[in-house]
Structure 1
Amino acid sequence: MMSGFICIISISTFAQKLSVTDLKVEHLKNPMAIETDSPRFSWKISSSVKNTLQSAYEIRVGRDKAAMNAGKDLVWKAAVSSDQSVLIKYEGAALQSKKRYFWQIRVKDNHGNTSAWSEPAFFHMGISPTDWTATWIKVAGKDTTARSPLFRKEFVVNKKLKSAIAYVTAKGLYEARINGQRVSDTYFAPGWTSYKDHLQYQVYDVTTILKSGSNVFGVSLGNGWYKGRIGFGNQHNFYGDTRGLLLQLVMEYTDGTMETIQTDKSWKYAYGPIMASDIYDGEIYDARMEISGWDNIGYQEDNKWNAVGTMEKGSEKLVAMSGPPVKKHELFKALKVFKTPAGETVVDFGQNLVGWVMLKAKGTAGTKITLSHAEVLTKEGNFYTTNLRSAKAQDIYILKENTEQVFEPHFTFQGFRYVKVEGYPGELTTEDLTAVALYSAMETTGKFATSNSLLNQLQHNIQWGQKGNFLDVPTDCPQRDERLGWTGDAQAFANTAAYNMDVAGFFTKWLKDVKADQQPNGSIPHVIPNVLGVNDGASAGWADVATIIPWDMYVAYGDRQLLETQFESMRKWVDYISSVAKNNLWNSGFHFGDWLFYRPNDDNDGRAAVTDKYLIAQTFYAHSTQLLINAAKVLGKQEDVAKYSALLANIKSAFVKEYMTATGRLVSGTQTAYVLALQFDMLPEELRAACANRLVANIRDYGTHLTTGFLGTPYLCHVLTRFGHNDVAYDLLMQESYPSWLYPVKMGATTIWERWDGIKPDGSFQTPDMNSYNHYAYGAIGDWMYRTIAGINSVPEQPGYKAIVIAPKPGGKITNAAAALETPYGPVKSAWTLENGLLKLEVTIPANTNAKVILPDTTKEIGSGTYHFESKTE
């Protein structure tokens, strides 16, 4: 118990000027492709005065930055008495396709202060379907070669340019260049979506790249997810057998005239040095086949190039890119180059990452260098790739004449820590290789650290699992012949993801694919985008992604529109379960169950951690129904609230009747069974404490080890803490022997593993058929670490951290912990230390929010500002 509570508040003697920062439109800074007629504006308020709330705001929007700054020629202005500063809808004149708009905010606070106008921000409207005049182009004839085609178009800028905006998409992947340089720093465009339903286009401001006079557009295409190998069974051409390019460059001159350069029959193509490129297998690049200057002015040989073919427009919709693009991030210098016991040359980068290696080399023309990628070494120290299954994951470079060359892939990525190098001319040194991490450009929002170095490494591993697998879609793994958007993994990890990074745009984009690939009967596929069969879906805890992530993202970011957009998909999923349920029991169909749960040695006492799959299904039936009710309440759909509340009561009644004895014992006495039943309130209230005790007894019976898999693990510690067993939750978290979260850390992991024992205590490996060393699902413990150890909690009734609960619960012999979270309103911080029986807590709350600080026996309501609390412990 804690007593002797003290709250120390220091008031500044003078206030800094009230200011407005971090302007965003639709979760993005200065977005280039806004498609909605009513984009939504968000901003953050900065003030050193405590208890600051916004009382009113003024917003203005204009086409001309200077005029808007002077308050002239506005397309919308509004002055509103409101404390809302997140996702405010535009309500001005109709916005025009392909036009850029500037906007500013100023606010008034509850202390009577008024900010200056913010720095101007902008948003660029996307291109409407009727404004596409370009023609899809392709290679002539059938697109059967593995080589990447190059497309080229010369054009002239003959007036003074005001702006030049390029709208680009492709079937396959594209890299666009103008006058010898890339048009952007993004990769794997146009991104992976449910291509049969919709294809994203990107928008680039290329004004500064263009020159007066002659210019050249050059675009190369790769197979990517569209045409390359994807899914299982050596599946190719899943979405189509022909790569294509669609491009429209709109130039506006200072005299007010416009000119458009676009893909049409006047473009030409040839094949370049990329001989093959595949997501799973890697890239083959022959530098001898490079065409010098092909993407720049002055190239004289395009009269030898081929005339392009054209393609009919497909049935898929062209949509603006709504999520963050994939970009390069951290660079890793090679730690060491060494010879394995098998005599192979291997490079260690020290971190399991996703991306590729940049290689410097010089040698005789025709020299072939092969880079193979692996996550781990065998216990003998040899290179290990068996767990990649059929994925080659190799990049092959063939040198041109004897000059130093720098290679990197274009249309593939690998998951690796180690690289085997074959055929390198001369001595390979650490200076010759650099590993590049690529992932979706999500802002880092969360930081977490404690006095325990193993926990800090666990947090590192969770973050890097997220980085490696949030490459345009939330994949299960980034290295083997899979790399698919498994729904069960994504829903398990979504809350943790939202602490570590700003995933609002990332999941908004992916949920469009969840909705698009949902079957007409409401079933949700196992993977999104769906590259499996039409019947590969409707598994409990996987398909429930349709309800879980929309709700979780609403709570994290306060995006009511996301619930509106996804509500019909949420309802269709619940209705699907109801359609196959009998007497309110979902006890049919295929289910993965508690995937990859711990399987103890049954030879000793016959026990096992196998949880009845239909019991699991029933709990998720209830959970999805509850989340649908929650969404209906937010959206004011009272008929749905009544309908599904009655259904929920029947679901829980059926669960009790089918799976529980009169004393609260479940037919599956596993940790996962009790965790899910307690987490989703399946049990009569008077029996819950006893069931939580049974859960604790099970944990202790296994030597204080968890036995849960993908579905039980995310909720395990939450349930223990909720029912008064926080000490047991800490004991599980701090457990260092297998199975536990810290066991892989002790074994040298730098990411989260797919299996609790991906590497066994004796150094041998788990089954290579399914043994990824970068698989974020078990990293879902991060959610509990932020909420319980650091104590930073959202409030569903005031989502997006408009209201905050700070409730740290120390334990596990941790002497200090600190976390920070950049919320839609600004930074929240919670840091505590335990010293000589005294708990010292530092809290920072952002402007325009309020918080409740909960310590044992003490609750304090506070507004924005930084506070210090102290409590004595007994």
Structure 2
Amino acid sequence: MIKRIILLCLFLQIVTVKAQTQVTSLTTEGLTNPLGIDNLQPHFSWQLIAKQRNTMQLAYEIKVAESETGFNKDLLWSTGKVISDQSIHIPYGGKPLEAGKRYYWQVRIWDNKGKLTTWSNVAYWQMGLLKENDWQAQWISPGYAEENDRPSPLLRKEFKINKKVKSATAYITAHGLYEAQINGKKIGDKYFTPGWTSYKKRLQYQVYDVSDMFINGNNAIGVMLGSGWYRGYFSLGNFKDIYGSDISLLFQLNITYTDGSTETINSDGSWKSSTGAVRSSNIYAGEVIDARLEKIGWATPEFNDKDWSGVKVQSFPKNILIGTYNESVTRHEKFIPKKIFTTPKGDQIIDFGQNLVGWVTLKVKGEVGQKITVSHAEVLDKDGNFYTENLRIAKAQDIYILKGGKQETFEPHFTWHGFRYVKLEGFSGELKPEDFEACALYSNMEKTGSFTTSNELINQLQHNIEWGLKGNFLDVPTDCPQRDERLGWTGDAQVFFRTASFLRGVNNFFVKWMKDLAADQFPDGSVTHVVPNVLADFERGSSGWGDAATIIPWNMYLAYGDKRILETQYQSMKNWVNYIQSQSKNNLWKQGRHFGDWLFYNVQDDLFGDSAITNKYLIAQCFYAHSVQLLINTAEVLGRNDDVKGYNLLLQEIKDAFLNEYTTANGATVSDTQTSYVLALHFDMLPEKLRQQAADRLAANIRRYDTHLTTGFLGTPYLCHVLSRFNYTDLAFELLLQKTYPSWLYPVTKDATTIWERWDGIKPDGSFENSDMNSFNHYAYGAIGDWMYRVVAGLDIEGDGIGYKKIRIHPHIGGDFNYVSADYKTPYGKLSSNWKINGNKLNLKTEIPPNTVAYINIPASSLEGITESGKNLSASKEIEIVEKKENSIVVKAGSGIYEFSIPYTMKK
């Protein structure tokens, strides 16, 4: 009996603990246990797990220690009990932090249920090298004379360890790209390091915990370098040596032994250099690997390097070195051949079934000197032949030369390709599926959002949006991953940002990129078309592209709630607005080179003429106003009151000039295009009294084109948002579900697995658009995702609830959907909206994360018949009814899972 009572008590204790609020998901600078932090006041965030509804944090306590077991001893920082519901972006405020040291922290909170949580699990972060003299290593370059094809250098160093290693940290960067090994094993899981930045001003280094990679006795470090973005053939025009002609390494290994002693192994004049199997490597051309020249065991101890050259010690700067916060490129999905076939032209082709970015790993057995060529393509032509004209001058070929004999495995090191199909040349024998594997590579950002519906074509569109992001978020947000471009176009990035921030945790990715935007911004404030900038000096200052300087920081603030992005980018934002002002006369921006509504549907017919062409200066004026508005918003957050006042006056003058120059008295725009109305309405360029009739004109224009869009890169992202805002949501659904060209679903009907650059990359007759600009992996038109997530599923920020502290859940029922589901991992935890039509009932299920509050729009005209979790809504004590509208009821709810059943009549 006593045993039963004890067991019952233990069970009840466990149940009670599980029912209580718990603290989880600790991050430092938005990362889990990061290494190499060089911010002296890193920010802490956490999430709560709570079974009870309406759980909020009332207070928190953070402790920071120098060891996992040091929380009961001397602390570096203890906040004590802080009365606050803030659980994200709390800055460290303790004793000064030291270079290279690891720190540990934990947190507990008090909730509004009167409970104090247990301490969280311990998290940690490790500081990077904080000052220039923390770097004891020297820059080194190969000591031999380089060949024209620039084979990848091999650099090595041997050293002895005769003590037990307690901890060891490697700090690595390069001019070019690097792959590092210790004792023949790869350091870390990252690729294309140190990543791409504005190299002359900002060069990242990476930090690795290598504590378990050593052996007693002789050890070896080996590093292979590739030309990469730094000096390889790159940019429009296929230039080389953009940042420099050298290829160099900076490597520092700090070892701490169990006896308390330390040792540092540095890149210096004692290293050796040679070349190996990688005979050439360029981003556009691909890689040539000659296995006959492989130096087996070159990165292991006891390798004979007596014939190797020395190295050159260089005096390159170290004061531009910065820690890496953005997630590096890593391996992801693997694909086996979907089909192996021979084309009408006789080529041997492998179809992997997905347009992806990465490379193919192949296994082959053949004769010594046999050459295998792997070519890459996104599509086949209408006759079923391998098509590469749209790659322009990018060869996109990997060449492998066999050493012969045993089976050999090949894959590139310092290049990547955008492809669905590969062509094999020089391959003897049958192509077997098990010998080929395609590997996707992209920046390792956390997946945060999902979206599914009852419509399979829309689900494929969502798939294509996600793969457009994966293929083009490779250290920078590129426009395309396959041809001789792959540049960080600012216009593409800003139109896609809100979609991207739903799908992936892109905060650190874009913080890094925005700092490069500011670094490459010209003294007059103009923003370059691509970031990092590798184009001519005149390639800058376009509306809709340069506005990335204002649009992305503000939307980052909304999505993640971190004010630092506004503080960091404020001067850049202001400089861009001031540049536009300097280019304007009478408050009109009517000069400069602008891309306009890039790649819009350009129709010329007898009835409408050039009716889809929108005046570029009208577009410029709209974005001018938008950037000023975002600058005002930012100045208000940062308390820059003088700027708020001054730019508010300027904004009114800009809008007045727009009305005088580009609209009639009745609200018609001079271009009378979908894009002109979309921008005028979305950016509030028109007074209230003219807006609805402008929206009516927009709807009429869409109808004139048989319910087709005609917008390009700048008009498309806002089109459906504007329609929904002005009571044309049904028309927005019609556009979304349109299957014929031009539409979002037209490429889906053509077997697309990514978003296309053009609405008609493949024409209805199977022919191609102009090969000079026809990428089949271009994410810009995937910006429709933002409307699907925020309007169709209905997940959005409410009012001033930045970072989803306050949430709006407002699903829109329409189209042919009977089911829509979306999940999003906010900074506070999981948020979801799931609606389904069941006969005469609409079921709405939603999950709201702890420490937030949500305003839920229920599509009903009265409370009658509405239940939540089987109980009448009007009787619920956990839900507050805050507003009754003509066709919706707004309720306020705290955290938890809610299931509403609502009387519903299908629209006819």
Q: TM tier, shorter chain?
A: over 0.9
The CA distance in 1 between the partners of 2:846 and 2:655, in whole Å, is 40
RCO higher in 1 or 2 (8 Å CA, sep ≥ 6)?
1
Cα displacement (A) at 1:15: 6.4
Question: 2:630 — aligned with what?
Answer: 627
The CA distance in 2 between the partners of 1:460 and 1:137, in whole Å, is 45
Q: Is the 8 Å Cα contact of residues 540 and 591 (structure 1) preserved in structure 2?
A: yes
Which of these residues, 682, 692, 714, is aligned with residue 711 of structure 1?
Answer: 714
1:98-127 residue CA offsets vs partner (Å, 9 max, x unmatched): 111111111111101222211111111010
1:462 aligns with 2:462: no
1:725 aligns with 2:728: yes
1:402-442 residue CA offsets vs partner (Å, 9 max, x unmatched): 11111110000000000000111221111111000000000
> Given residue 815 of structure 1, which amino acid in structure 2 is its aligned partner?
N
Cα displacement (A) at 1:871: 2.2
Question: 2:193 — aligned with what?
Answer: 189
| Structure-2 change in CA distance of 1:796 and 1:312 (3 Å) | farther
Question: 1:113 — aligned with what?
Answer: 115
The CA distance in 2 between the partners of 1:438 and 1:857, in whole Å, is 45
> Given residue 199 of structure 1, which amino acid in structure 2 is its aligned partner?
L
Question: 2:175 — aligned with what?
Answer: 171
Q: Is the 8 Å Cα contact of residues 195 and 316 (structure 1) preserved in structure 2?
A: no
1:161 aligns with 2:168: no
Question: 1:867 — aligned with what?
Answer: 898
User: In structure 1, the residue corresponding to 2:508 is in which secondary structure?
Assistant: helix
Q: Is the 8 Å Cα contact of residues 65 and 120 (structure 1) preserved in structure 2?
A: yes
Q: Is the 8 Å Cα contact of residues 602 and 610 (structure 2) preserved in structure 1?
A: no
> Given residue 88 of structure 1, which amino acid in structure 2 is its aligned partner?
I
| Structure-2 change in CA distance of 1:698 and 1:132 (3 Å) | same
1:60 aligns with 2:60: no
Cα displacement (A) at 1:870: 2.4
1:283 aligns with 2:278: no
Which of these residues, 7, 11, 21, is aligned with residue 18 of structure 1?
Answer: 21
Cα displacement (A) at 1:161: 1.2
Cα displacement (A) at 1:605: 4.2
Question: 1:125 — aligned with what?
Answer: 127
The CA distance in 2 between the partners of 1:54 and 1:639, in whole Å, is 35
User: In structure 1, the residue corresponding to 2:295 is in which secondary structure?
Assistant: coil
Question: 2:213 — aligned with what?
Answer: 209
Q: Is the 8 Å Cα contact of residues 375 and 422 (structure 2) preserved in structure 1?
A: yes
> Given residue 329 of structure 2, which amino acid in structure 1 is its aligned partner?
V
Question: 2:483 — aligned with what?
Answer: 480
Which of these residues, 80, 87, 90, is aligned with residue 88 of structure 1?
Answer: 90
1:832-871 residue CA offsets vs partner (Å, 9 max, x unmatched): 0112232110010000000000123200000000001222
Which of these residues, 488, 493, 498, is aligned with residue 490 of structure 1?
Answer: 493
User: In structure 2, the residue corresponding to 1:800 is in which secondary structure?
Assistant: helix
Q: Is the 8 Å Cα contact of residues 361 and 425 (structure 1) preserved in structure 2?
A: no
1:273 aligns with 2:277: yes
Higher mean C-alpha displacement, 434-443 vs 635-644: 635-644
Cα displacement (A) at 1:72: 2.1
Question: 1:453 — aligned with what?
Answer: 456
1:463-496 residue CA offsets vs partner (Å, 9 max, x unmatched): 0000000000000000000000000000000000
User: In structure 1, the residue corresponding to 2:19 is in which secondary structure?
Assistant: coil
Please show how residues 255-654 of structure 1 align to structure 2 within 5 Å: 255-299=259-303, 301-314=304-317, 317-603=320-606, 605-654=608-657
Q: Is the 8 Å Cα contact of residues 621 and 658 (structure 2) preserved in structure 1?
A: yes
Question: 1:73 — aligned with what?
Answer: 74
Question: 1:104 — aligned with what?
Answer: 106
| Structure-2 change in CA distance of 1:16 and 1:424 (3 Å) | same
The CA distance in 2 between the partners of 1:501 and 1:143, in whole Å, is 42
Cα displacement (A) at 1:57: 1.1
User: In structure 2, the residue corresponding to 1:602 is in which secondary structure?
Assistant: coil
Question: 2:874 — aligned with what?
Answer: none
| Structure-2 change in CA distance of 1:125 and 1:13 (3 Å) | closer
| Structure-2 change in CA distance of 1:440 and 1:333 (3 Å) | same
The CA distance in 2 between the partners of 1:577 and 1:531, in whole Å, is 22
Superposition TM-score, scaled by structure 2 size: 0.94
1:817 aligns with 2:848: no
1:354-391 residue CA offsets vs partner (Å, 9 max, x unmatched): 00000000111111000000000011100000000000
Cα displacement (A) at 1:297: 1.2
Question: 2:248 — aligned with what?
Answer: 244
> Given residue 587 of structure 1, which amino acid in structure 2 is its aligned partner?
K
The CA distance in 1 between the partners of 2:361 and 2:66, in whole Å, is 42
> Given residue 872 of structure 1, which amino acid in structure 2 is its aligned partner?
P
Q: Is the 8 Å Cα contact of residues 625 and 648 (structure 1) preserved in structure 2?
A: yes
The CA distance in 2 between the partners of 1:638 and 1:508, in whole Å, is 25
Q: Is the 8 Å Cα contact of residues 277 and 292 (structure 2) preserved in structure 1?
A: yes
User: In structure 2, the residue corresponding to 1:306 is in which secondary structure?
Assistant: coil
The CA distance in 2 between the partners of 1:64 and 1:13, in whole Å, is 31
Cα displacement (A) at 1:316: 6.3
Cα displacement (A) at 1:608: 2.8
Consecutive unaligned residues in structure 2, runs of 5 or more:
1-14, 859-886
Cα displacement (A) at 1:575: 0.5
User: In structure 2, the residue corresponding to 1:514 is in which secondary structure?
Assistant: helix
The CA distance in 1 between the partners of 2:890 and 2:292, in whole Å, is 71
User: In structure 1, the residue corresponding to 2:35 is in which secondary structure?
Assistant: coil
Cα displacement (A) at 1:820: 0.2
> Given residue 74 of structure 1, which amino acid in structure 2 is its aligned partner?
L
Q: Is the 8 Å Cα contact of residues 143 and 243 (structure 1) preserved in structure 2?
A: no
Consecutive unaligned residues in structure 1, runs of 5 or more:
1-11
Question: 1:735 — aligned with what?
Answer: 738
The CA distance in 2 between the partners of 1:513 and 1:316, in whole Å, is 16
Cα displacement (A) at 1:788: 0.8
Q: Is the 8 Å Cα contact of residues 166 and 206 (structure 1) preserved in structure 2?
A: yes
Cα displacement (A) at 1:815: 0.3
Q: Which runs of 4+ in 1 moved over 3 A?
A: 12-15, 141-145
> Given residue 803 of structure 1, which amino acid in structure 2 is its aligned partner?
K
| Structure-2 change in CA distance of 1:826 and 1:605 (3 Å) | closer
Higher mean C-alpha displacement, 209-218 vs 276-285: 209-218
Q: Is the 8 Å Cα contact of residues 199 and 316 (structure 1) preserved in structure 2?
A: no
Question: 2:684 — aligned with what?
Answer: 681
1:529-554 residue CA offsets vs partner (Å, 9 max, x unmatched): 00001221110000000000000010
User: In structure 1, the residue corresponding to 2:334 is in which secondary structure?
Assistant: strand
Question: 1:5 — aligned with what?
Answer: none
1:757-801 residue CA offsets vs partner (Å, 9 max, x unmatched): 000011110000000000000000000000111100023512111
Question: 2:881 — aligned with what?
Answer: none
Question: 1:200 — aligned with what?
Answer: 204
> Given residue 27 of structure 1, which amino acid in structure 2 is its aligned partner?
G
Q: Is the 8 Å Cα contact of residues 196 and 315 (structure 1) preserved in structure 2?
A: no
Cα displacement (A) at 1:58: 1.3
1:539-579 residue CA offsets vs partner (Å, 9 max, x unmatched): 00000000000000100000101110000100000000001
The CA distance in 1 between the partners of 2:146 and 2:27, in whole Å, is 41
Please show how residues 761-772 of structure 1 align to structure 2 within 5 Å: 761-772=764-775
Cα displacement (A) at 1:298: 2.3
Q: Is the 8 Å Cα contact of residues 142 and 242 (structure 1) preserved in structure 2?
A: no
User: In structure 1, the residue corresponding to 2:306 is in which secondary structure?
Assistant: helix
**RMSD between aligned alpha carbons?**
1.2
> Given residue 868 of structure 1, which amino acid in structure 2 is its aligned partner?
E
1:116-172 residue CA offsets vs partner (Å, 9 max, x unmatched): 211111111010222011110001266454200000000111222111100000000
> How many residues end up aligned between the 2 structures?
860
User: In structure 2, the residue corresponding to 1:840 is in which secondary structure?
Assistant: strand
> Given residue 76 of structure 2, which amino acid in structure 1 is its aligned partner?
V
> Given residue 405 of structure 1, which amino acid in structure 2 is its aligned partner?
E
Question: 2:875 — aligned with what?
Answer: none
Question: 1:34 — aligned with what?
Answer: 37
> Given residue 111 of structure 1, which amino acid in structure 2 is its aligned partner?
K
The CA distance in 1 between the partners of 2:899 and 2:561, in whole Å, is 28
